Structure 1
Amino acid sequence: MTAITTPFGFSSTAADVVDGIDLTGRRAVVTGAPSGIGAETARALAATGAEVTLAVRDLAAGERVAKDIAATTGNQLHILVNNAGVMACPEQYTVQGREWQFATNHLGHFALATGLHGALAADGSARVVVVSSTGHQRSPVVWDDIDFAFRPYDPWLAYGQSKTANALMLGTIYSNLQRHTCGRGSGQVPAELIKTVKTGTVDRRSGTLHGVARYAVHPDNARRLWTLSEELLAEAV
C-alpha cells in the first residue's frame, strides 16, 4: 500500500488547498451554502474560477434543482457537495410522511445526487461529497422504524439516524454543530483537536475524532440504504 501525502496540515484552510488551482469551466453544486462549511466550500470553489450553484435541501426542491441544473448546464456537472442539513428539529413530517430530518439530511440529497447522475457521469471524473457528523453515533438507521411510527420521537435520535445515512452514502466531516454532540464547544474535546469551519472544510478525516461507528461504514448497510432510498423516492413520485 502506498501512503498518500499532502503538504497540508491540521490548520490548513480550504483557501490554502485551492490556491493555484484553476477550475475555470468546471461546474459545482453546493447545498446549504449560506453559512458554515457550505459557505466556505462555495467560496473556495468560486475562487478557483468554477461556476458554483447554491442549491436547496428538501426532497421536492432537490428534484427540481436537479432537473434545472441538468437542463441549463449542457447536462454536465463536475462537483456536487451535499452539505445542507437540519438538526434536532421538533417532530414533523413531509407530505409523504417521511420524518423531517431523515428526509432533509438524507433523502433530499439522495434525490439530488441520483437526479444528477447523468450530468455527473458525463464528466467521467466527477466528485460527490456528503457532509455527515459525529452525531451519527447517537443512532444507526433503524430500518424497521425510520419515521418513528412505533418509537417515541426523539430529535437527537432522528438527527443521529440521518447523519448515519449521510455517512453510509459517502463520508463524514467535522462541523461547528459538534458543540451539541460532544464535540466543538462542548468542553469535551481538547482545543487543539478542534478545527474551525475554514479548516474543517478541507477534508473528512477530522470526522473520526471520536471514531466512526461500524454501522455507519458497513457495506451491507450502505447497500440496504441505497435500495430503501430508491423505494422511498419512488413512493414520493
Structure 2
Amino acid sequence: MTQTTRITTPFTAQSTAAEVLEGVDLRGRRAIVTGGASGIGVETARALAAAGAEVTIAVRDLDAGKRTAEDIAATTAGAPVLVAPLDLADQASVAAFVAGWEGPLHILVNNAGVMACPETRTPEGWELQFATNHLGHFALATGLHPALAAAGGARVVSVSSSAHLRSPVVFDDIHFKERPYEPWLAYGQSKTANVLFAVEAGRRWAGDGITVNALMPGGIPTGLQRHLEPDYIERRRALGNSTGVTWKNTEQGAATSVLLGASPLVEGVSGRYFEDNQEAEVVESGEGRGVAAYALDPEAATLLWQVSADLLDL
C-alpha cells in the first residue's frame, strides 16, 4: 500500500490486546514473543494464542516461561504455547535459538528488554542496554529472516519506548567508552535503535512481503522498572498529563503490539512508529508522545544496520 497519510484505527489507549484481536483468526500462524514470561509479553502471547496462533515465548527463565505457558493455555482453550531459551545479551544463545527454529514464522514480536540499568557490559564490551534491546533482537530477526520470508506476509514488531526521545543513536560513542555512562541516555539510544531497525528492515525486506513496525506500549508498571527507585512509578503518575505518557495495565500495554503483529487494519503498513493503537505524529522534541524525526531518518537507519552487522560479524 502507498503510505502517504498517518494511520489511525478505532482503538484507543484503553483498548486491550484481546479487544484489538477480537474476530481475528490466526489459526495456522506461528508467532514468537521475546520476553513472553513477564509484563506485556505475557498478554501479547496470550492474545495471539487466544486468536489461534501457535506461540513460542522466548525467555531467559525457563521455569517462569513454563508457568506462563501453562497459564496461557489454561485461559485460551488449550492453544499451543511453546517455551524456548533465549538470552538476548548472549549472541551464542541467540544463534542457538535461530538454529533450532524450523519452518515458517508469521509474527515476531521483539518485546524483551532492560531499562536504565547500572553500567554493565557484555563479554564483547558492548553496553548492555544496546546489546540486549537492539543487537540481540537484530541478530534474532536477521537470523530468522528466511523463516519470515517463507511465511508470506510476515510481520515483525519492534517494541520501543517514548524514552527514544531522550537520545538519538550516538554513532561516535554507542557503547559509552568516551562519554560518562548515563542509564537513561543509554536506554533512550537503544529504543531509538528499535525504531531505526523497523525503518531499515521494512525497506530491505519489503520484497519478501515482510512488514516491520515499532511502537510505544505506554507506561506499564512491570519488572522492567526493577533498576529504578522504588517510588519512580508513583512520582511519574503524580506528574499526570505533563509527561505525555499514558499509564496502562498489561492488557492495554500489549494492545499496540498485537495490532501491529496481527490486525488486518495495518496490513501492508511498514517502517512506522505507533502509540496507543495509532501511528504517532513526528515531533522535533518533547517527552512522552510522538516519534522523533531522527528515529525515522532513513540514512541513520541504514548506518545503524551496517554498524550492527559489523559488530555481529554478519
Question: Is TM-score (shorter-chain normalized) higher than 0.5?
Answer: yes
1:41 aligns with 2:13: no
Aligned pairs for 1:111-130 within 5 A = 111-130=139-158
Say which SS state the counterpart of residue 106 (structure 1) adopts: helix
Gaps in structure 2 of 5+ consecutive residues? 59-85, 199-213, 226-231, 257-273, 281-287
Tell me: CA distance 1:216–1:229, structure 2 relative to 1, closer, same or farther (3 Å). same
Which position in structure 2 is the counterpart of 1:174?
Answer: 217
CA RMSD in angstroms comes to 2.7
Instruction: Report the AA paired with residue 179 of structure 2.
Output: R
Contact 2:105–2:154 under 8 Å retained in 1? yes
CA pair 151-83 structure 1, distance change in 2 beyond 3 A: same
- Whole-Å Cα distance in 1 between the matches of residues 246 and 123 of structure 2? 41
For the residues of structure 2 that align with 1:161 and 1:189, how far apart are their CA atoms? 24
Of stretches 21-30 and 115-124 in structure 1, the one that deviates more from structure 2 is 21-30
* Partner Cα separation in structure 2 for residue 3 and residue 154 of structure 1: 34
Q: CA deviation at 1:185?
A: 2.6
Q: Structure 1 residue aligned with 2:31, among 28, 33, 36?
A: 28
Structure 1, gaps ≥5 residues long: none
CA drift at 1:112: 0.3
Mapped pair 1:88 → 2:116: yes
What is the distance in 2 between the residues matched to 1:3 and 1:217?
A: 14
Following superposition, the deviation at residue 6 of structure 1 comes to 4.3
User: 1:51-200 counterparts in 2 under 5 A?
Assistant: 51-55=54-58, 56=86, 57-60=88-91, 61-69=93-101, 73-74=102-103, 76-170=104-198, 171-176=214-219, 185=237, 187-189=239-241, 193-200=246-253
Secondary structure at 2:311's aligned position in 1? helix
Distance 1:210 1:34, change over 3 A: same
Kept after mapping to 1: 8 A contact 2:164/2:188 = yes
How many residue pairs end up in the alignment?
A: 231
Instruction: Name the aligned partner's letter for residue 172 of structure 1.
Output: L
Which range is displaced more, 184-193 or 126-135?
184-193
Q: CA–CA distance in 1 between the matches of 2:21 and 2:98?
A: 26
Contact kept, 8 Å, 1:37 with 1:198, in 2: the verdict is yes
1:118 Cα shift? 0.2
Paired-residue identity, %:
56
Query: How far does residue 59 in structure 1 lie from its aligned partner after superposition?
Result: 4.1
Query: CA separation in 2, counterparts of 1:141 and 1:35?
Result: 27
Q: Return the letter of the residue paired with 1:231.
A: D
TM superposition score normalised by structure 2: 0.67
Q: Give the secondary-structure state (helix, strand or coil) at the position aligned to 1:44.
A: helix
Q: Which structure has the highest strand share of the two?
A: 2
Is the 1:177–1:184 contact (alpha carbons within 8 Å) kept by the matching residues of 2?
Answer: no
Q: Deviations over 1:152-200 (max 9, x none)?
A: 111111111111101111222233368869x963524279944433223
